Structure 1
Amino acid sequence: MVLSPKDTVIGFVGTGVMGRSMAKNLLKAGYRLNVYNRTKASARELVELGANWQDTVAELAEASQLVISMVGYPKDVEEVYLGKDGLLAHAKTGSYLVDMTTSSPLLAKKLTEEGKKKGLLVLDAPVSGGDIGARDAKLVIMVGGEAEAFNAVKPVFEVMGQNIIRQGPAGSGQYTKMCNQITIASNMIGVSEAMAYAQKAGLDPSRVLESIGGGAAGSWSLSNLGPRMIAGDFAPGFYVKHIIKDIKIALDSAQEMGLKTPGLELAKSLYEKLATEGEENSGTQVLIKLYNL
């Protein structure tokens, strides 16, 4: 089975910075779309483009064959899926449920097991690429779950992203996303220190970016967030409060495995400092502010 635009109704829960762009791309591809968000105003643009607003998660689940969630925290995922008015209680047998939130691998496994009991196919499919990747349908999508479910949903993933890989059974997508976040957390420290160093040395940081961005130092963060740092643009493509959440999930997972992650501990302390200074709703590139530029 393949979920094509012709005969598939998709429900989308969570229309924030990332979710709104992802849902918009689904509409552009011709999918019929039901939407729900805690704050209705956040979904207004999607409704104007043709999406159907649903008043509750339960109503959305009952009216959709595939439901995608893109919410904030693991506690939000638990509420959306496991609450008495949640997806698992109201989705139709045979429906597909895809959590694209960056969340706990253990929670992803639990949702899959609970879904199986009710004849539901559940995938964990966190993404990377930020607001730009979501807007341009170039997200990296890391998937955990059964191969059959992955193959059915893959055409939908292809509307939102380009690098789409099933990593293994339930929870594998979230474990892979933790690898991604561990890399980003330490890399952002390096990008910030490099930009601060360039300025202190009397260089033009923009010209430095031109030189080092295409070499061994190159990274997505350097190329996409380095210019924002230089411009003093701290609008969120990805919130400080969310990277702190992800780092905590990764640290918990690492502790369960007996793995030491000193770079991640450092990143956590720096981002928590920014949060205490009122920057929790800024983009992660605000880390440069700690260097007093």
Structure 2
Amino acid sequence: MGIQANHTKVGFIGIGVMGKSMAGHLMKVGYPLHIYTRTMSKATELIDQGAAWHQSPATLAAECDVIITMVGYPKDVEEIYLGEQGLLKQSKAGTYLIDMTTSSPLLAADIYKQAKERQMHALDAPVSGGDVGAREARLSIMVGGDQEDYEAMLPIFQLMGTNVVLQGKAGAGQHTKMCNQIAIASNMIGVCEALAYAKSSGLDPDTVLQSIATGAAGSWSLSNLAPRMIAGNFEPGFYIKHFIKDMGIALESAEAMGLKTPGLALAASLYKQLAEQGYEDKGTQALYKVWME
């Protein structure tokens, strides 16, 4: 199937902090957009711009050539794909199914297998870059699946991200995202401790950032999230509750491989403390509250 704007019907399930921007980029170049999200109010802006609203994933599936999902948890992915009214049972043969949720590598492989049996194409394609990356179409997209399916969907991926890489077979995209989350988890502790140290020693944290953000200590979190920490802005670009979910998947996968991840385990325990204090709907930069309080 040739992918063409104005012709290929794209379904997008999950219009959240990132999904709304990602779906919007597809509409801007002319893809007929069909959307479903549990909370219709989140999709009002896209509906006003011409997106077609559906009452269920099943009705959306019947209309679309390509379906992208960007939901919260692996259990949501499982329900949307594998349920009685799920995409695998309701989509047409030849449909491309792209799960961009950060989810389980094993679940991704299962969806791929069942899709192939039904003559559909499945890719796992989790992303990194947060709300800013989604808004500016600068996401890093990590893809697992068949080479030919990846190449067919590349024009769509390139509307949402600037760093799109096929990592390997089904599930490889999710495994790569786990590498990403593991690197972020320990780094976030370092960023928070650096800011806490700067404040405790009487330095101006903003001035400290001028020196350290572009040196060997530099990272995306230091450049993008540390200023939010300093400003006391803990609104979500990426929810704590979703990061806890991701770290749980990574810990389970690492344990299954016999791999020790003490840095990840520490970060997960600190974030769980925050969630228990009622901050699960704040952004991951709210980890700084552990040192503030």
Partner residue, 1:138: 138
List per-residue Cα deviations over 1:64-87 (Å, max 9, x = no partner).
Answer: 000000000000000110011110
List per-residue Cα deviations over 1:130-178 (Å, max 9, x = no partner).
Answer: 0000000000000000011000000000000000000000000000000
List per-residue Cα deviations over 1:193-220 (Å, max 9, x = no partner).
Answer: 0011111111111111111111111110
- Tell me how far apart the structure 2 counterparts of residues 62 and 186 of structure 1 sit (CA, whole Å): 43
Partner residue, 2:61: 61
Figure out how many residues of one structure are paired with residues of the other and give that number.
Answer: 293
Partner residue, 1:33: 33
One-letter identity of the residue aligned with 1:281: D
- Tell me how far apart the structure 1 counterparts of residues 30 and 222 of structure 2 sit (CA, whole Å): 35
**Structure 1 position 228, deviation (Å):** 0.1
List per-residue Cα deviations over 1:201-250 (Å, max 9, x = no partner).
Answer: 11111111111111111110000000000000000000010110000000
Given the two structures, how large is their TM-score scaled by the length of structure 1? Answer: 0.99
Identity %: 60
- Tell me how far apart the structure 2 counterparts of residues 50 and 216 of structure 1 sit (CA, whole Å): 46
- Are the aligned partners of 1:32 and 1:51 in contact in 2 as well (CA < 8 Å)? yes
- Tell me how far apart the structure 2 counterparts of residues 141 and 222 of structure 1 sit (CA, whole Å): 21
List per-residue Cα deviations over 1:24-76 (Å, max 9, x = no partner).
Answer: 11111211100000111111111011110011100101100000000000000
Partner residue, 1:147: 147
Please tell me whether residue 122 in structure 1 is matched to residue 122 in structure 2.
Answer: yes
CA RMSD of aligned residues (A): 0.7
Partner residue, 2:279: 279
Partner residue, 1:176: 176
**Structure 1 position 179, deviation (Å):** 0.1
- Tell me how far apart the structure 2 counterparts of residues 30 and 189 of structure 1 sit (CA, whole Å): 42
Partner residue, 2:23: 23
Please tell me whether residue 185 in structure 1 is matched to residue 185 in structure 2.
Answer: yes
- Tell me how far apart the structure 2 counterparts of residues 164 and 44 of structure 1 sit (CA, whole Å): 29
Partner residue, 1:81: 81
Helix, strand or coil at the partner of 1:280: coil
- Tell me how far apart the structure 1 counterparts of residues 181 and 217 of structure 2 sit (CA, whole Å): 18
- Tell me how far apart the structure 2 counterparts of residues 5 and 169 of structure 1 sit (CA, whole Å): 27
One-letter identity of the residue aligned with 1:173: G
One-letter identity of the residue aligned with 1:260: K
Partner residue, 1:246: 246
- Tell me how far apart the structure 2 counterparts of residues 210 and 64 of structure 1 sit (CA, whole Å): 48
- Tell me how far apart the structure 2 counterparts of residues 204 and 50 of structure 1 sit (CA, whole Å): 48
List per-residue Cα deviations over 1:104-129 (Å, max 9, x = no partner).
Answer: 00000000001011111000000000
Q: How does 1:104-119 map to 2 (within 5 A)?
A: 104-119=104-119
**Any gaps of 5 or more consecutive residues in structure 1?**
none
One-letter identity of the residue aligned with 1:164: V
Given the two structures, how large is their TM-score scaled by the length of structure 2? Answer: 0.99
Partner residue, 2:266: 266
Any runs of at least 4 consecutive aligned residues in structure 1 with deviations exceeding 6 A, and if so which? Answer: none
- Tell me how far apart the structure 1 counterparts of residues 220 and 173 of structure 2 sit (CA, whole Å): 20
Helix, strand or coil at the partner of 1:279: coil
Partner residue, 1:42: 42
Q: How does 1:198-217 map to 2 (within 5 A)?
A: 198-217=198-217
One-letter identity of the residue aligned with 1:263: G
- Are the aligned partners of 1:2 and 1:153 in contact in 2 as well (CA < 8 Å)? no
**Any gaps of 5 or more consecutive residues in structure 2?**
none
